[in-house]
Amino acid sequence: MAHRKARERDMLDSVYSMLALVFILVACVELCDAATVVDVYRLIQYDISGVPFGSRLASLNHHAGSLHFSPGADLSRTVVMIPVRELNISFVTEYVSRKHPLGGMLFLLPEIFRLENGGGGKDVREKEVVKNVLLELEKLLVHAKLPYPVYFAFENDEIDAVLDDVKKNDATGQPATATTGGYKLVIPIAEPKKVASPTITNIQGWLQGLKADGDANQLPTIAIVASYDTFGAAPALSVGSDSNGSGVVALLEVARLFSLLYSNPKTRGRYNILFGLTSGGPYNYNGTHKWLRSFDQRLRESIDYAICLNSVGSWNNELWIHVSKPPENAYIKQIFEGFTNVAEELGFKVGLKHKKINISNPRVAWEHEQFSRLRVTAATLSELSAAPELLESTGGLHFVDETSFIRSVQLVAESLARHIYGYQGKNIQIFADNSSLAVNPSYIRSWLDLLSQTPRVAPFISKNDPFIMALKKELADHTDEVIMQHEVLDGMFTFYDSTKASLNIYQVASVTFDLLLLLVLGSYLIVLFSFLVITTRGLDDLISLFRRPPSRKVEVSQEKLANDNYECVMV
């Protein structure tokens, strides 16, 4: 008997454990049945010396709302979906400056800005209007601290349908909350963590000049430098085709042209040419600073001058040369004259701008200032007439104009060549069109295409990112002694990860709907029950169901009476 009971207990235990296992398995089923799933890109989150900026949260689980909400509505549990096409920048400014509580923001960018659609001149006018709005928006968001998630997404049919629905709901005056149904936006992502040691990678290459026999002195060097990384509001979308993609491609094309010249000892010049692709541009040219510090003193002294390229792709008829040494300086005069002569021949103007360096101010506005701080003569060639502010978005929306870009490359190459080969002031075109040394438009186009589709925010690129490898390989094709230098970004800047996520949009029913449904179903079951009792057992039975307690009391009292009578009789 005990044996059988023990066996029964074992069987029961096994049954229970089986049931538990089944329940666990079933509960682990992925509930990914959203109406829509969209790729979204998060606003950048960073600290400067501990001061927080950008969007501080990543995960999202709130109802969707639109801009047509009734004034005074509580939006602290709503994600506002804002299409940039209809953006009223004052609304965003007000919300950000007054620090209103908000569940989150989702900006919808027009489809034409998608990375895959590339640069291109299609619909330029439409892009112009949105571009200006986007630039203002970027400037506002990047310098504000937002304690809620902010995301960017591209418009498509599904999300447009959702937005229309949400607008309709909002127009009726009902804000979407748990009790009124609507759409729910969910981004299931972990809390953003600091990027541990953001690396910046500098790539350098040399073209050795021709040393005369018996000359023990080191040849002078000319350096050409461009920074290749970008910064923007959405790091996963910051492609910067003009700034500074144009600088990078100009450097590569100049490297290609000079490698053709230097491959033959008869046309090799008496100067070394140093090409530098630096990172850390937006962060006070941190990469350039570390790169220069890694040089030894002799090398630094042998640099005759350095030309830094910054945004040379979309100008009309004037380029600027920015210097930090006074224009009366002999070297500066020489450089400037060389550039002006070539520019005149090519048909445009070059202006000179002088900006003094303030050593105590850590802010470095132009790349050449890093050279000047180490007493190397340098200048920056750029289409911008004024330096961008710290972390001002590097205008990733300007598309490169091919003709002006080719002219910039020709300017740089010719001026350099005339200086190297000693043809200053003479009217000789070394890189003439339709010659074997002409600027190659298809080379430029393919590299510009690549750069306009690759987001390159430095803390989010690893050491061995394919793009960096591609740059290194390309430079190695044209130059010798290509060295990559990996450094850690200046500790003043801290970045947080989670730049890309996928958004699930669910259409949810309100709690009142569920309660109503419960009520309806309850009454349906009760009606069914009564109907069945009446048809099968009769109406009396139904009534007797409710009258049982009193009838039992009557029965009990009757029984008691009968017992008492019996006792009396017994006695």
Partner 1 sequence: MTVFHFFNCAILTFGPHAVYYSATPLSEYDTLGTSVKAALVYLGTALVKLVCLATFLKVSETDNFDPYQELLKALIGFIDVAGLYFALTQLTHRNISQNHKFQAVGLGWAFADSVLHRLAPLWVGARGLEFTWDYLLQGLEANANLVLSISLAALGSLMWLRKNKPKTLIPIIYACAGIVATMPSITSCVKNSTCQYPYYSDIWPLQLFEAGIGMAISKGGRL
Contact positions vs partner 1 (CB under 8 A): 26, 29, 31, 33-35, 178, 181, 184, 186, 506-509, 511, 514, 517-518, 521, 524-525, 528-533, 536-537
Nearest residue (CB) to partner 1, 219 versus 508: 508
Q: How far is the CB of 17 from partner 1 (least distance, A)?
A: 20
Q: 317-335 burial, b for 16+ CB within 10 Å, e for fewer? A: eebbbbbbbeeeeeebeeb
Nearest residue (CB) to partner 1, 159 versus 203: 159
Nearest residue (CB) to partner 1, 91 versus 524: 524
Residues 396 and 115: their CA atoms lie apart, in Å, by 11
**CB of 389 closer than 8 Å to CB of 403:** no
Nearest residue (CB) to partner 1, 351 versus 522: 522
Contacts of 201 (CB under 8 A, 6+ apart): 279, 287, 461, 463, 468, 484, 485, 486, 487
Nearest residue (CB) to partner 1, 428 versus 532: 532
Tokens 């009838």 correspond to what residue?
551
Q: How far is the CB of 504 from partner 1 (least distance, A)?
A: 8
**CB of 368 closer than 8 Å to CB of 336:** no
Helix (H, G, I), strand (E, B) or coil at 379: strand
**CB of 42 closer than 8 Å to CB of 142:** no
Q: How far is the CB of 498 from partner 1 (least distance, A)?
A: 22
**CB of 54 closer than 8 Å to CB of 43:** yes
Q: How far is the CB of 535 from partner 1 (least distance, A)?
A: 8
Residues 457 and 279: their CA atoms lie apart, in Å, by 9
Q: Strand 378-382's sheet: what is its strand order?
A: 349-354, 318-323, 378-382, 303-310, 221-227, 272-278, 199-207, 480-488
Nearest residue (CB) to partner 1, 33 versus 328: 33
Nearest residue (CB) to partner 1, 185 versus 233: 185
Per-residue H/E/C for 318-366: EEEEEECCCCCCHHHHHHHHHHHHHHHHHCCEEEEEECCCCCCCCCCCC
Q: How far is the CB of 29 from partner 1 (least distance, A)?
A: 5
Q: How far is the CB of 174 from partner 1 (least distance, A)?
A: 17
Q: Enumerate the β-bridge partners of residue 219.
A: none
Q: How far is the CB of 18 from partner 1 (least distance, A)?
A: 17
Question: Which is nearest to 288 in space by CA: 311, 306, 313?
Answer: 306
Nearest residue (CB) to partner 1, 35 versus 484: 35
Nearest residue (CB) to partner 1, 35 versus 219: 35
Q: Where are the strands (E) in 219-271, listed by range?
A: 221-227
Residues 214 and 191: their CA atoms lie apart, in Å, by 65
Q: How far is the CB of 550 from partner 1 (least distance, A)?
A: 22
| 530 token code pair | 């009564």
Q: How far is the CB of 103 from partner 1 (least distance, A)?
A: 16
Residues 395 and 314: their CA atoms lie apart, in Å, by 11
**CB of 453 closer than 8 Å to CB of 249:** no
Nearest residue (CB) to partner 1, 87 versus 185: 185
Q: How far is the CB of 70 from partner 1 (least distance, A)?
A: 25
